[in-house]
Structure 1
Amino acid sequence: MAPFVHLHVHSYYSFCRGANSLEELCATAQRLGFRALALTDTNGVYGLVRFLEIAREYDLVPLIGTEIRTDTERAVLLCKSQRGYSNLSRLLTLRHLDPHFRLAEALPAHAEDLIVLTDQPALLARWARELGTDSVYAELRPGPNRRRLLRFARQHGLRPVATNGVHFATPSDYRVHR
């Protein structure tokens, strides 16, 4: 069985969302025996350079990504390569420059070498049609809609991936996150 990796993680660079520093997240991941850790701060890669340094200090494989959010859309994007990072940067630039940005429309032109996770059925159906199912995953997060989303994923030939939407490293950090 493949080792577990958190693919949806927010640091304190996700303003008003993440509670912990990059060092606290990496130290906790190492202590728990993880080999890799993703950083998917909201609408940006603000702590990326420092994350790469700290992850290596803790012998973790750093996975680069972001959670792009709009008023109505949400998806985690993870980079497979430098080309994926270039596309991620392009999408983030569009997100910040265009007040009418819609991820549903923007992603297909910039999806090369990106892994896409979302729990929104309309986005999953659209991107499965437009991008194929190799890099689009149904993100199963804790909550009441998991079973429904899993059925939807199976009906549309999409693979599910379980995530937690990590916003704090330890239970004692929850108060900061709230």
Structure 2
Amino acid sequence: MCRFSHLHVHTQFSLLDGAASIQSLYQKSIKEGMPALAITDHGNMFGAFEFVSEAYKHKNEDGSLKVKPIIGCEFYVVEDRTRKTFTKEQKDERYHQVLLAKNATGYQNLVKLTSLGYIEGMYSKYPRIDKQLIERYHEGLIATTCCIGAYVPQTI
């Protein structure tokens, strides 16, 4: 069995960034023998229900799932999510941050963070959160270093 699983994947729900359908991602994961697969769409969890539902369509003979679904999100993190006024000199500086749910509490916290990103942090086309929200809703979550747009790669 393959011991590799993709933990940073965008689906068709990451507009202008992801093109893969959830069904095709599962087909490829099963073909490659991956034990798990995460979806981490940009700023939203629109595909979460379809993603988990698709996992239950693909079971082993013993009834276990062929590929474990891991729900995540790639957030836009800023210093202050409520700030909405910027200039050419003081831009809306944001970093990417992938957070994965490791249990039901983590899933609930992902839902809370994405909702607050849209309700309190929306600026331009970006649902933004800040470190204060992550600190408040961190339980049950796993953070990764993400991509080139994340804080760590941008800092070094």
Aligned pair partner of 1:96 in 114, 118, 122? 118
TM-score after normalising by structure 2: 0.72
Residue 78 of structure 1 is matched in structure 2 by 100
* Structure 1 range deviating more: 68-77 or 98-107: 98-107
Partner of 1:138: none
Q: 2:137 maps to which residue?
A: 110
Which runs of structure 2 are paired with 1:6-155 in the superposition (5 Å)?
6-58=6-58, 59-70=66-77, 71-99=93-121, 101-118=128-145, 119-121=150-152
> Which residue number corresponds to residue 89 of structure 2?
none
Deviation at 1:115, TM superposition (A): 0.3
Q: Tell me which residue corresponds to 1:133.
A: none
Instruction: Please identify which structure carries the higher helix content.
Output: 1
Identical positions, percent: 31
Structure 2, unmatched stretches of 5+, are 59-65, 78-92, 123-127
Question: Do the aligned partners of 1:26 and 1:60 also contact (CA within 8 Å) in 2?
Answer: yes
CA–CA distance in structure 1, aligned partners of residues 17 and 134 of structure 2: 24
Secondary structure of the 2:114 match is helix
Q: Measure the CA separation in 2 of the matches of 1:32 and 1:82.
A: 27
**Does the CA-based 8 Å contact 1:64-1:79 persist in structure 2?**
yes
Cα distance in 1 between the residues matched to 2:57 and 2:20 = 17
1:111-150 CA-to-partner distances (Å, cap 9, x unmatched) read 00100113413xxxxxxxxxxxxxxxxxxxxxxx5xx96x
2:38 is paired with a residue of what secondary structure?
A: strand
Q: RMSD over aligned Cα, in angstroms?
A: 2.2
Report if aligned partners of 1:56, 1:62 keep a CA contact under 8 Å in 2: no
Structure 1 unaligned regions, length at least 5: 122-144, 150-178
Q: 1:104 Cα deviation (Å)? A: 2.0
Q: How many residues are paired up?
A: 124
Secondary structure of the residue aligned to 2:56 is: helix
Q: Is the 8 A contact 1:73 1:103 kept in 2?
A: no
